Amino acid sequence: MSCQETRVLLHAFLDDELDPVRSLGVQGHLDGCRDCAREHAAHRSLRAALRDQALYFRSPQGLESRVRAALGSQGAIERRAGWLGAAGAFLRMRWAWLPAGAVAGLLAVTVIIIGRFGAPPPGPLADDLLGREVVASHVRSLMASHLTDVPSTDQHTVKPWFNGRLDFSPPVKDLAGEGFALVGGRLDYLAGRPVAALVYRRRLHVINLMIWPAPGEPDRSPTVALHQGYHVLHWTQGGMGYWAVSDLNENEMKEFVGLVQR
């Protein structure tokens, strides 16, 4: 094995990620090459330095008990909502093993793994919890002066902005002609995944429209819920789940949703 090959494989060797044959090859080279052996030794001493316990941050006292207390109160909400009737959150891990070429040039790409988390499925409980999450996200977006990542009234600017930031392409409509002006878009994190948040304005009211994929779910017409004084409308359409939230009145919210659905 050459020095060049060894340098490429050295980290996989160090991390015990090499197959036995190439592992032996690297070891053989290190036994006979002083430079490569020194580099290997340097990385080993760096590893030892990083494994120093002084660098590890243990979770502070009290965090666990706070989490357990919060889980307990969530449990209570779920009991009220009826646990059994809820499908619960749906999470999907998909793995793809794609073997590629071995040592090619300087970079050896051996295995590609893609892990993805899916969205929760429908159900009264999941919807109730998610509705609260959506409201919390809406409130945060108003408080943190972080309403938009991409402030634009142009749907053709907002939609492409999500490319590469999400694993789906959210439908973006400008409804300014109908009295709901598009203000921009934002990346948010809901239900354990990144989602698209579109921001609209009606007079002084802000509407957040959260969108993420709901694979395999049938279309469902909007349901209205009220959380902390905010109207939350949820529906499914064309394999996407939609959540619209605002302090706007129910009638105008329904009008907005009708326009989005059209």
Please list every residue from 159 through 188 that binds another protein, using CB under 8 A: 187-188
Choose which of 20, 31, 32, 113 interacts with another protein (CB under 8 A). 113
Please identify, using beta-carbon distances, which residue of 47 and 156 lies nearer to another protein: 47
Q: Tell me which residues in 53-112 interact with another protein (CB under 8 A).
A: 54-60, 63-64, 66-68, 70-71, 74-75, 78-79, 82-84, 86-93, 100, 106-112
Please identify, using beta-carbon distances, which residue of 110 and 261 lies nearer to another protein: 110
Closest CA to 25 of 145, 128, 108, 141: 108
Q: Tell me which residues in 142-161 interact with another protein (CB under 8 A).
A: 144, 146, 149
Nearest distance from residue 180's CB to another protein, in Å? 26
Under a CB-based contact definition with an 8 Å cutoff, are residues 210 and 188 in contact? yes
- Give the CA count within 13 Å in the CB-facing half-sphere of 222: 21
Please identify, using beta-carbon distances, which residue of 43 and 254 lies nearer to another protein: 43
Cα separation of 10 and 214, whole Å? 43
Nearest distance from residue 47's CB to another protein, in Å? 6
Q: Tell me which residues in 26-55 interact with another protein (CB under 8 A).
A: 35, 38-39, 41-43, 45-47, 49-52, 54-55
Closest CA to 181 of 161, 158, 160: 158
**194's tokens:** 């990144």
Please identify, using beta-carbon distances, which residue of 21 and 106 lies nearer to another protein: 106
- Give the CA count within 13 Å in the CB-facing half-sphere of 217: 23
Beta bridge partners of 230: 227
Nearest distance from residue 126's CB to another protein, in Å? 8
Give the per-residue contact string, 6-25, with another protein (x = CB under 8 A; - = no): -xx-xxx--x-x--------
Ranges assigned E (strand) in 180-229:
181-190, 193-202, 205-213, 220-227
Please state whether beta strands 205-213 and 107-108 pair in parallel, antiparallel, or not at all (unpaired). unpaired
Give the per-residue contact string, 186-225, with another protein (x = CB under 8 A; - = no): -xxx-xxxx-------------------------------
Q: Tell me which residues in 231-260 interact with another protein (CB under 8 A).
A: none
Please state whether beta strands 205-213 and 240-246 pair in parallel, antiparallel, or not at all (unpaired). antiparallel
Please state whether beta strands 193-202 and 181-190 pair in parallel, antiparallel, or not at all (unpaired). antiparallel
Please identify, using beta-carbon distances, which residue of 11 and 156 lies nearer to another protein: 11
Q: How many residues bind another protein (CB under 8 A)?
A: 78
Ranges assigned E (strand) in the chain:
103-104, 107-108, 150-151, 181-190, 193-202, 205-213, 220-227, 230-237, 240-246
Query: Quick check: 117 binds another protein (CB under 8 A)?
Result: yes
